Amino acid sequence: MITVHEAYQAVIEKALPAAIESVHFMKSRGRVLRESIISDRDLPPFDRVMMDGIAIRYAAFQEGIRAFKIQEVQAAGAPRSSLKAKDGCIEIMTGAVLPEHADSVIRYEDVIIDHGIANIQIEAIKPSQNVHLQGTDRKRGTEVLIPGTIIGAAEIGVFASLGVDQVKVSRNPTCTIISTGDELVEVNEIPLAHQIRRSNVFMLQSQMESFGIIAEQIHLLDNQDHIKFQVEKLLKKQDLLIISGGVSKGKYDYLPTVLTDLGVQKIFHKVKQRPGKPFWFGKHPSGVLVFALPGNPVSSLVCLVKYVHQYLYNHLKAKSTSPKAILTSQIIFKPDLDYFLPVKVDYSGAQIEAIPQPGQGSGDFANLVNADGFLHLPRGQEQFNKGEIYPLHLYRNPVL
């Protein structure tokens, strides 16, 4: 067996940069940005009014004027008006351009309007009150988004605002997730006493979608020739194969042999960790990478978020965060293995807290719903104390 660090390094070494493709900005959510996005104008592009109300001269207010004659009304989207009289004002709408010679906006709630006169009801205002000044967010020609950004709703809004119709992103790898085993039946079937429903592949498929990767899936029966035939076809058309089960030492665990027969070079098999020790990783001469994960659901998910996720961050050139969390209670773990402890994550305090949810072992898939991720407790010690900080691998996005 190799160490978790050695396995991690071996996976990352295979993460060559993904190709770049252009997609419509509304199709880019979840993708990884591969270009700098530069502002084509100041943001905001003009002195933007932030409240419905009246625009006045600040100096007039300072001189004691409280009653302002309404000159006109200016709507958002209308050309810029010009305030004429010192004791005049312009009714102004949110989003409009601040009129020339005006520099402060008083909201309607602080004004009484009577017969064309706006009477200000507050005793103090500030220069540029309720005005979003031109260029205070970004100047024209400055970088707004950097390469490596994982695109979300905020980035979509920036693309639209800056007129970025097509955006350069990393090309996502094609992927098939494979389950094996005669004991597995389909979700809509009623299993016999000795059978279980297929679930790992759906869990893994859903997790891959968090990277914007729509993976296919296939189920293979415990027949060596059948497995070899199907895997050989997949090696010719996919970039990644993720296999759930069939990589341990059972008599029907044919995958290591099949993969070797098909020319897939084994980079490692078995890692000093729990859960997930039987993890197998290899590469086909064509460049296809094979992540053969243990069949137990907790083991599968651990290996996916620890190794496959990190591979994807590096391959797609995404900015990777490495969160850490505080252990909230003591854990004793004696085996000389890295331990990936299921934890519920609490974001309510100043620091992230990890609340242990150990469950009943690597087969306890139901316990996964009680947790948000895995706290990585390193080998070499048996006692992990409350208040200590360790790396956190999330499979669930933070929620409020």
In a domain, 122, yes or no: yes
Q: What pLDDT, on the 0 to 100 scale, is given for residue 132?
A: 97
The answer on 201 and 114 residing in a single domain is: no
The answer on 158 and 76 residing in a single domain is: no
- Taking residues 30-52, what's their average pLDDT? 96
- The CATH number given to whatever domain includes residue 127 is 2.170.190.11
The answer on 366 and 284 residing in a single domain is: no
The answer on 294 and 185 residing in a single domain is: yes
With residue 331 as reference, give the H or E element that holds it. Answer: strand 331-332
The answer on 68 and 78 residing in a single domain is: yes
pLDDT in tens, 128-153: 999 999 999 999 999 999 999 999 99
Task: Of 184, 176, 182, 283, give the one whose Cα is nearest residue 237.
Answer: 176
The answer on 184 and 297 residing in a single domain is: yes
Domain boundary among 76, 103, 132: 132
Residue 306 in this model has a pLDDT that exceeds 90 = yes
Tell me what the pLDDT averaged over the chain comes to. Answer: 92
Strand pairing report for 143-145 and 67-74: unpaired
CA dihedral 45, 46, 52, 58 (to 10 degrees): 150
In a domain, 400, yes or no: no
The answer on 120 and 179 residing in a single domain is: no
Give yes or no for a contact between 342 and 356, defined as CB atoms under 8 angstroms apart: yes
Residue 400 in this model has a pLDDT that exceeds 50 = no
Residue 250 in this model has a pLDDT that exceeds 80 = no
pLDDT band at 358 (very low <50, low <70, confident <90, very high): confident
- Taking residues 282-303, what's their average pLDDT? 93
The answer on 270 and 384 residing in a single domain is: no
With residue 244 as reference, give the H or E element that holds it. Answer: strand 240-244
Give yes or no for a contact between 287 and 14, defined as CB atoms under 8 angstroms apart: no
pLDDT in tens, 171-202: 999 999 998 877 777 778 787 788 767 768 88
Give yes or no for a contact between 264 and 281, defined as CB atoms under 8 angstroms apart: no
Q: How far is CA 238 from CA 31, 60, 207, 233, 234, in A?
A: 19, 71, 18, 9, 6
- The CATH number given to whatever domain includes residue 344 is 2.40.340.10
- Taking residues 239-259, what's their average pLDDT? 79
Q: Is the pTM of this model over 0.75?
A: yes
Residue 333 belongs to domain spanning: 324-394
| Tokens encoding 337 | 């293995």
What's the total number of domains in the chain?
4
Least confident of 84-88, 111-115, 297-301: 297-301
Residue 341 in this model has a pLDDT that exceeds 50 = yes
In a domain, 192, yes or no: yes
Q: String of b and e for 285-308 (b: at least 16 CB within 10 Å)?
A: eeebbbbbbbbbbbbbbbbbbbbb
SS3 at position 184? strand
In a domain, 137, yes or no: no
In a domain, 43, yes or no: no
In a domain, 85, yes or no: yes
Q: What pLDDT, on the 0 to 100 scale, is given for residue 194?
A: 80
pLDDT in tens, 48-107: 999 999 999 999 999 999 999 999 999 999 999 999 999 999 999 999 999 999 999 999
By percentage, how much of the chain surpasses pLDDT 70?
96
Q: String of b and e for 206-223 (b: at least 16 CB within 10 Å)?
A: ebbebbbbebebebbebe
Q: What pLDDT, on the 0 to 100 scale, is given for residue 284?
A: 97
- Taking residues 266-285, what's their average pLDDT? 95
- The CATH number given to whatever domain includes residue 29 is 3.90.105.10
Residue 240 in this model has a pLDDT that exceeds 90 = yes
The answer on 88 and 8 residing in a single domain is: no
